Structure 1
Amino acid sequence: MKLIVQIPCLNEEESIARTIRDIPRCIPGVDRVEVLVIDDGSSDRTAEIAIDNGADHIVCLDKTRGLGEAFLSGIKTALALGADIIVNTDGDNQYRGKDIPGIIKPILEKEAEIVIGDRRVRTMKQFSPLKRQLQILGNFVVRRASGTPVYDATSGFRAISREAALKLNLKAKFSHTIETILFAARENITLTTIPIETNLTLRPSRLAPNMWSFIIHSIAPIIQTYFFRRHNA
């Protein structure tokens, strides 16, 4: 059983070393753990520092293409490298490596094909009151549209089985998070969540789109999925 932890990042030279070192290399039920860094056109030493700190594979995109394309590039590379499970995490060290065994457990036990780490948005002090309320509303809309038990649709910490990853057909340039959930709903891919804790980050992600851009780009796929499910109910 081979696990590849992929880290899409942009100009994360200050945090990528901590992120990589935090990833456990020995996990029950897994024979091999490898780290894949997708450098989305960084202008700093992100790729160099990643290699120096133990990254097994580096993909350097020719220019900054956005979180969605960096995520998909990682998925394709991980599949080509023979991954049985892929975990996606962020290069800013927001997510804890110690949660990786827990997030892959439902896949190892054949209970789900996609697992999302739930940051419990209602209690996140890192979010402003406005962002927290918008997250709560957005999560409600995604749950209704997709019929999935997701309370943190924008969490970037998630595990995907090889079988589910092979089916992924995403189009989002800016973010993969919500579109992956909607795709799972349309394709009847089993999805679950687990609660996680997060590290305190000092700044917003450089790869994630701003809040209003994210909302605008999410409206169409949410509506499409809602009517798709109604039509096929």
Structure 2
Amino acid sequence: MEVKEGGVSEQSCKTLVIIPAYNEEANLGELLSDLKQKNGYFDILVVNDGSEDGTGEIAEAAGITKVINLPYNLGIGASVQTGFKFASENNYEFALQFDGDGQHKPEEIRKLLEIVRSNEADVAIGSRFTKKHDGFKSDSFRRTGIRIFEWVSYLLIRQKITDHTSGFRAFNRRSIEFLKDNYPVDFPEPEVVILLGRNGFRMKEVFTQMLERKGGVSSISLSRGPYYMIKVLLSMVMAAMRSKKMD
């Protein structure tokens, strides 16, 4: 696993933005440009998950990122866990997961980080559903599935989380250390909520706006939606059963 570095500010050494990316050449360049304009207090790590397009080259050409090129496609779970391992090994106090598809707004990073920096919670989750809005919304099937995840999650951890599939989250050092060894592989975002809740981590949601994908294809197609939902629900229950306490 090769790590390539671009120029970063010494002032940003305590916070790492982790961007998992698979075949995101249509979105990554603009995203990194936006992050560069708003940077000044965090480092950026792109985990290129064995992309078959120019994702890795775009990340390296940006000149502002650290880049890890995985040898082949390992999936979103392995990509994000790679980011947590990097954050732990390099003594970052805070980390932020930020999807590489361009659907999150870089200007909203600060409000997630403020929650974990101020110790309001161990993990801050950007949610599309904490308030009504007129922005982009996912299709009705996905929204129904997310509501089901919310109900099942509440039964398992007794905490209301409205957006289990959010890929926009901030973490403190304690949660980084836990997740670098315990991050799920198959359906990581919903499972992580259960693992964190069952192991006593404090989670707090904050409203964030989701943008429409400009390019590329989502990994979850409508035809696979029911299969995905069933698998995620089973994985959430299994995560509750195998919850591992932090040493």
TM-score normalised by length of structure 1: 0.86
Q: Partners in 2 of 1:69 and 1:226 — Cα distance?
A: 20
1:12-54 per-position Cα deviation (integer Å, ceiling 9, x unaligned): 111111211222213xxxxx41100000100111111112223
Aligned with residue 25 of structure 1, among 32, 39, 57: 39
1:158-186 per-position Cα deviation (integer Å, ceiling 9, x unaligned): 00111111012436323320111111111
Show structure 2 runs of 5+ residues with no match.
1-12
Aligned with residue 195 of structure 2, among 183, 208, 225: 183
- What is the deviation of 1:226? 5.5
Q: Partners in 2 of 1:82 and 1:208 — Cα distance?
A: 34
Q: Give the 3-state SS of the residue equivalent to 1:14 in structure 2.
A: helix
Aligned with residue 139 of structure 1, among 120, 126, 150: 150
Name the structure 2 match of 1:96.
105
Name the structure 1 match of 2:4.
none
Which has the larger displacement, 140-149 or 110-119? 140-149
| Counterpart AA for 1:14 | A
Which has the larger displacement, 110-119 or 211-220? 211-220
Aligned with residue 54 of structure 2, among 45, 48, 61: 45
- What is the deviation of 1:80? 1.5
Aligned with residue 129 of structure 1, among 140, 152, 166: 140
Name the structure 2 match of 1:34.
43
- What is the deviation of 1:224? 4.2
Contact 2:191 2:239 survives alignment (8 Å)? no
- What is the deviation of 1:130? 2.0
Name the structure 2 match of 1:198.
210
Contact 1:5 1:87 survives alignment (8 Å)? yes
- What is the deviation of 1:84? 0.8
TM-score normalised by length of structure 2: 0.81
Show structure 1 runs of 5+ residues with no match.
27-31
| Compared CA separation, residues 148 and 228, structure 1 to 2 (3 A) | farther
Aligned residues: percent identity? 22
Mapping of residues 75-90 of structure 1, within 5 Å: 75-90=84-99
Q: Partners in 1 of 2:73 and 2:242 — Cα distance?
A: 33
How many pairs are equivalent?
A: 224
Task: Verify: 1:115 aligned to 2:124, yes or no.
Answer: yes
1:36-92 per-position Cα deviation (integer Å, ceiling 9, x unaligned): 000010011111111222342111111111111111111111222221110001111
Which has the larger displacement, 202-211 or 135-144? 202-211
Aligned with residue 160 of structure 2, among 149, 154, 165: 149
Cα root mean square deviation, aligned = 2.4
| Counterpart AA for 2:62 | N
